[in-house]
Amino acid sequence: MGSWCAENLRDVKAWKDEGLETTTISNESAKLYDAVLRQLVSWIDCDQLGGLVKTMEQLQSSEPESIIARCLILGIESLGSNVSVFKDNIFKENIEKLLVDAEKYGNERERKHSEAVKLFAFGDMNKACQKWEEILEKHPNDLMAIKFAHDGYFFQGDPKGKLDSINRVINKWDPSKPCYGHLFGMQAFGFEENKDYENGKKSGYKGLEYNKQDAWSTHALAHCHEMLGEYNEGIKFMESTVSDWEPCWMIACHNFWHNALFYVEKADYETALSIYDDEIGKRSRSGAMLDVVDAASMLQRLQMEGVDVGKERWEGLVDVLEPHIDNHTLAFNDAHMAMVYSNCNDSKSKALRDGIDRFASDSQQGKIIKVLGNIICEAIDSYNGDRFNECFDKLFPIRHEIYKIGGSNAQRDVFNQIIIRSGLKSTSPQHNQLAKVAIEERKKLKVHSPLLDRICSQFI
């Protein structure tokens, strides 16, 4: 990473001068907070600072009672979806203590951040985003609120919220401030998810003008190429810039996934599988849920294309998922776990669904997991068990609700493919006809898709 990350880190006074006063008393803690935030938003370790994980550890120990520091650390853990307050009592206690302490001695902005982190951790993501928006109304330069709201809308499958949020603040920023250029990657992704690919590309390339290692801008541009069916252009773009975005380890696996998607689209399965083996599969060993869902999704897509991905690749994901099976933070995560377990004939497939049945939360996400999540997991199990009639009966009626589980249009396309394939493979003539409805809907989402052409040529 460039030296900018470790330079001119803001102390207590500097934060106050920017209108972002905190109750933190240690200049060291204030600077470490800045250092963590910069690395988080840029998706890359700063070697001069020792990397994100080390910087977070230093931040935690520098002033253990700092409200704003704990908001950032616990917020990162919550939005990473690797830990759950419903399973990890220590994490739950830390969240609750943060809220109590913020009421005791935090300022108004810190209290709202604390409330937002708790709301998100307990599954009320929409309410959490509302809190972050309240902060941004008064403090449009609060990068933590911008980043967390951006991710919060993503996890809800809310593209309009995502775009509106960044558009409200981006013109209020001083371009000389750290991480200003990274706002354009967020804006680009917002445009893309709202199907405004022209502006998505403009913002994405603008982000790269500020920093060629802006992996989130790269990611947004990959999405634009994907949804426009520009797979050859996408491959050229991703592979010509790989030396820029590969060091961004927090998002590199996902960007490799995007590159592999281009090869799946053009039926170059050998290269796609090679990318899986060389990059996606290995990186999924990190245990980060973003990486694991990428791995599961890629294997599912290749397998549906008729590629023998081998049971070993599926089984390689089982141990990685073990710590997360009862987390139930996102229905999106549970659905990808179902892909893994149903392809391993593993008893954990039933354990996952039983866990969802037992899951007791009346939060926004809790309701989505109990209703939509459960149906989707059952449908995936049906599809991978060759029970196509059953799969279609479950998924087709809820197809316009699936966005609520979160993720992007490109990520959720795996469910479109499952719906179409199960409908065409079903023994029911009615299903065969309704599958054509799903085909037409996908054509509107992706106007140029050789993959869909191949599916149709097999059955229609």
Q: What is the DSSP letter of 280?
A: I
pLDDT at residue 1 greater than cutoff 70:
no
Q: Tens digit of pLDDT for each residue in 437-452?
A: 999 999 999 989 999 9
- Rounded mean pLDDT, 39-50: 93
Region 209-214: mean pLDDT is 97
What whole-number distance in Å separates Cα of residue 290 and Cα of residue 253? Answer: 8
CB within 8 Å of 339: residues ≥ 6 apart: 296, 297, 299, 300, 380, 384
Distance CA 126, CA 135 (A): 15
- Would you say 212 and 186 are in contact if contact means Cβ atoms under 8 Å apart? no
What does the pLDDT read at residue 351? 82
87 — pLDDT class (breaks 50, 70, 90): confident
Region of residue 51 (phi > 0: left; psi between -120 and 50: alpha; otherwise: beta): left
> For residue 146, is pLDDT > 60?
yes
Average pLDDT over residues 171-176: 96
Contacts by 261-264 with C-beta closer than 8 Å and gap 24+? 261/226, 261/298, 261/301, 261/410, 262/225, 262/226, 262/231, 262/232, 262/234, 262/235, 262/238, 263/231, 263/235, 264/298, 264/301, 264/302, 264/305, 264/451
pLDDT score recorded for residue 363? 82
Asked if 299 and 257 count as a contact pair (C-beta separation under 8 A), the reply is no
Q: CB atoms < 10 A from the CB of 160, how many?
A: 11
- What percentage of the chain has pLDDT greater than the value 90? 85
What mean pLDDT do residues 156-182 have?
97
Is 80 exceeded by the pLDDT of residue 326? no
As a whole number, mean pLDDT of residues 333-356 equals 87
- Interval 420-435: pLDDT, tens: 999 999 999 999 999 9
407 phi-psi bin (left φ>0, alpha ψ -120 to 50, beta other):
left
Residues in the chain, overall count: 460
Distance of alpha carbon 334 from alpha carbon 458, whole angstroms = 30
Average pLDDT in the chain: 94
Three-state secondary-structure class, residue 367: helix
Lowest model confidence (mean pLDDT) among 235-239, 273-277, 445-449 = 445-449
In whole angstroms, what is the distance from residue 15 CA to residue 19 CA? 7
Residue 244 CA to residue 255 CA, distance in Å, equals: 11
Q: How far is CA 80 from CA 90, 291, 366, in A?
A: 17, 11, 17
In angstroms, the CA 113 to CA 235 distance is 40
What angle is formed at CA 94 by the lines to CA 68 and CA 319, rounded to 5 degrees?
Answer: 115
Distance CA 226, CA 390 (A): 30
Whether the pLDDT of residue 349 is over 90: the answer is no
**In terms of Cα–Cα distance, which of 76, 99, 95, 73 is closest to 86?**
95
Q: Which residue has the higher pLDDT, 201 or 83?
A: 201
Q: What's the predicted TM-score (pTM) here?
A: 0.95
In order of 12, 303, 318, the CA distances from 272 in angstroms are 49, 12, 21
pLDDT band at 4 (very low <50, low <70, confident <90, very high): low
Query: Using CA atoms, how far apart are residues 51 and 49, in angstroms rounded to an integer?
Result: 6
Lowest-confidence segment of 76-85, 151-160, 244-253 by average pLDDT: 76-85
Judged by phi (left if over 0) then psi (alpha if -120 to 50, else beta), residue 446 lies in beta
SS3 category, 60: helix
pLDDT of residue 360: 60
Per residue in 365-423, pLDDT (tens digit) is 888 988 899 999 999 999 999 999 999 999 999 999 999 999 999 999 999 999 999 99
According to the model, what pLDDT value does residue 33 have?
97
Q: Are 132 and 152 in contact (CB under 8 A)?
A: yes
Instruction: Report how far residue 33's alpha carbon sits from residue 150's, in angstroms, rounded to the nearest whole number.
Output: 19
Q: How far from chain centre, in Å, is Cα 372?
A: 18
Q: Which two tokens stand for residue 323?
A: 């710590």
